[in-house]
Structure 1
């Protein structure tokens, strides 16, 4: 045990022994009944994990892939979004939004500090055309937890979607999606879930699903309505 490799990083995290043993099992086919039974069983638990009544989509990608899927599925080129930028991953939201051709307003927050909900509200008042607020539940690069619940309260009554990166929060810090009125919550496998990297999870609110249905997908691979339809059948799109 003294020679065991130990990861003292924010992610990937060390794998519990039972996870390592599960990974040693034989492969099964992903279009057969055995896989469907696993998906159905896991889906119930994922909904509890996210605190949502809706489906939770598994995506075979990193957490950044889920961030990309959210931006490319909920917004169209030319849409205006507000990015809370208080660390490296706030910067990543901005970069992904820019790659989609969105018009980005950055709300700069000093690294090591949390955004103030009243500043988000003021930015939305200043530009009513903003269609989404992108922020982290926990900014991994600084360890700061943003007041997502309070931000959502300040956004009540607006059509603006609240998109939250919970990669270093889901399973670690409470962020019940439905109770807090988060429109999109996503995470990756390699932090709180203590799994290998390469799997992401994403869920949308009913009104975010309406937006996704009205938005032309910006990417063939990240087709969230298609993923949802397959999850409801115990499958994945790809």
Structure 2
């Protein structure tokens, strides 16, 4: 059985990705900062739960130690936890980068020993084309007018980390994904986006790549995106 960890998976795209991977036979661990919400989500789906705050080194280490003790390996890691900071100031920048970029480093580094024990290790980062230079400079793209510089900058960092990890660990698939504009808590104030289960399909496609699949890419549902 494929052992999968999804961060920030108690709601939204992470929750729906967990649901779809469970349907495919994965043994899914719901990583969530809030214990009560995480346990509730895991119980609803029939998944497992680990308390995991991507901004806390101790929490990350404890979660991966727990998975190691139970499974001895990790096959798929999905970096889903993320925040949208609308205020442009120092504290907001620290929060955005700590969750959206540094969190990826924390979890990946803790997970690498477990991933190396997998026959087909695979890491998917839910990034955004809002972090693509090509998209934000293209007047025909919705990202052109997106007024969230910290989100865009931190997602650019997330995609670059994906590429660098792919180069450093050629035996592991590392890909970033633009899941599409999705109706989640993050976008609720704007009343936009498609249902989370539709966007989750894009994540699932990359989370189920075999050893011949691409690595070091940013993709959406149509394929590889320039960035």
The TM tier, using the shorter chain, reads 0.3 to 0.5
Q: Could you say which structure has the greater relative contact order, defined with CA pairs below 8 angstroms and 6 or more residues apart?
A: 1
- Choose 1 or 2 for highest CA Rg: 1
More helix per residue: 2
TM-score normalised by L of structure 2: 0.42
